[in-house]
A and B are shown apart, each in its own frame.
Chain A
Amino acid sequence: MPAISIQPTYPVFTGLDGLPLDAGYLWFGVANLDPQTNPTTIYWDEAMTIVAPQPVRTLAGYPSRSGTPARIFIATDYSVRVQDSKGVTVYNASFVAVEDPNVAPFVIENGTGQEITISMDGSDFAFNHTQAGDFLTYDNGTGEFTIAADGQPVNIQGLTVIESAEAGGANLKLSGTFGSPAAPNKYIRSLAGVLEVINSAYTTPLAQMFDSGDFAFNSGYGTSKVAYGCRAWVNFDGTGTVAIRGSGGVSSITDNGTGDYTVNFSSAMTDANFSASAIAKEFMGAKRFACTAEVMTPSASSCRLEIVDTSFALADSAEIHVAIHR
């Protein structure tokens, strides 16, 4: 740690005779206004939590608090009046600027006209390069952390952030590349309210999530299109001891009788206007036929279906598959 020059701990106010002012008065006011009639708030502590009453008395030239020297803190530019013990003005200063030592930036120059500045203003932080657009900032007020590199990628531990310079870029909060040389990079961006995954050439959305909740993806469609998933499905054996082989979004099936089943949903649909697809098969000796699986009474919470064999009679089937789309 380098040595630091010791500075006076407390400011000293003097009278017109040049001697430390004892039992004097210190008034602090709004800049450019009379400090006695327009006082401003001053504090005893640097955190500015303990308000100092005015006027502040002096003790052997020092501002005093409860009989001991004290320091005075203020947040803004101010005016000041100093009076001696008899109330005679020693001097007035209508404007005194508050200098925040944190504001002065730290500058690094490389001798070729390029420089880097690092500055702090309160809790805000900025790191700037002389090339326009290259910066890193933190705004303590909004909590925003911003990085820009004049159109060039900025690498952050494998995440590449590119500048929001494309059309509609006002809505672009993050673009990034992920992956490794063995796995081509993909990009993620939020553009005009749509969250997108972009191909490695950064030209075509591969998947999109819209504000409406719709999800679109290109999985053989040719382009990214809104797709609708299966909300419920079940594969069950309707013969012998009726049993479910596999299911999703289904709480149970009800065996109502021969060839008569109800598929009950785990969560109710929005309404009964879903699309139900059902198929069953029937064996007649060595031959296999597709049975009619007729959806009889759909409701938001269930879907009843009947299985009819080639004789148009209700029949159990060992293979019944049902899928619900909405």
Chain B
Amino acid sequence: MNQRIIYPTDDGGVAVIIPAESVADAMKDVPDGKPFKIVDVSEIPADRTFRAAWEYTA
């Protein structure tokens, strides 16, 4: 699965959804009312040292 769903968290960070089978099946896991984007996995930093500093940009 090379796609991820990202959405902003309430504290200003960003959550990353990793689908198990398909993005379509995982869409339900985006909290109601949250904006989201489907991105390629390559757009997600692999370095998690500053994970808490990640931000969501529309």
Range of interface residues on chain A? 20 to 34
Q: Are A252 and B29 in contact (CB under 8 A)?
A: yes
Q: How many angstroms between the C-alpha atoms of A247 and B21 in the bound complex?
A: 9
Q: Are A234 and B20 in contact (CB under 8 A)?
A: yes
Measured between beta carbons, the chain B residues less than 8 angstroms from A133 are none
Q: Are A316 and B20 in contact (CB under 8 A)?
A: no
Q: Are B41 and A241 in contact (CB under 8 A)?
A: yes
1/0 per residue, CB under 8 A from A, across B6-47: the answer is 000100010111111100011011000000000001001011
Measured between beta carbons, the chain A residues less than 8 angstroms from B13 are 256-257
Measured between beta carbons, the chain B residues less than 8 angstroms from A257 are 9, 13, 15, 51-52
Q: Are B46 and A252 in contact (CB under 8 A)?
A: no
**Residue A177, interface by CB 8 Å:** no
Q: Are B15 and A254 in contact (CB under 8 A)?
A: yes
Measured between beta carbons, the chain B residues less than 8 angstroms from A250 are 20
Q: Are A316 and B48 in contact (CB under 8 A)?
A: yes
- Residues A242 and B18 in contact in the complex (CB < 8 Å), given A251-B26, A264-B29: yes
Measured between beta carbons, the chain A residues less than 8 angstroms from B1 are 243-244
Give the residues from 243 to 283 in chain A that come closer than 8 angstroms, CB to CB, to chain B.
243-244, 247, 250-258, 262, 264, 266
Main secondary structure on B side of the interface with A: mixed
Separation in Å of the A10 CB from the closest CB of chain B? 75
Measured between beta carbons, the chain A residues less than 8 angstroms from B20 are 234, 244, 247, 250-253, 266
Closest Cβ neighbor of B25 among chain A residues? A251
Closest Cβ neighbor of A265 among chain B residues? B29
Q: How many angstroms between the C-alpha atoms of A244 and B18 in the bound complex?
A: 7
Candidates A234, A244, A251; contact of B28 at CB < 8 Å? A251
Measured between beta carbons, the chain A residues less than 8 angstroms from B44 are 241
Measured between beta carbons, the chain A residues less than 8 angstroms from B41 are 241
Q: Are B16 and A254 in contact (CB under 8 A)?
A: yes
Q: How many angstroms between the C-alpha atoms of A225 and B9 in the bound complex?
A: 45
Measured between beta carbons, the chain A residues less than 8 angstroms from B5 are 252
Q: Are B21 and A251 in contact (CB under 8 A)?
A: yes
Q: Are B29 and A251 in contact (CB under 8 A)?
A: yes
Measured between beta carbons, the chain B residues less than 8 angstroms from A83 are none
- Residues A240 and B48 in contact in the complex (CB < 8 Å), given A251-B28, A256-B9, A266-B25: yes
- Where the two chains meet, the residues of A that have a C-beta atom closer than 8 Å to any C-beta of B are 234, 236, 239-244, 247, 250-258, 262, 264, 266, 302, 316
- Where the two chains meet, the residues of B that have a C-beta atom closer than 8 Å to any C-beta of A are 1, 5, 9, 13, 15-21, 25-26, 28-29, 41, 44, 46-48, 51-52
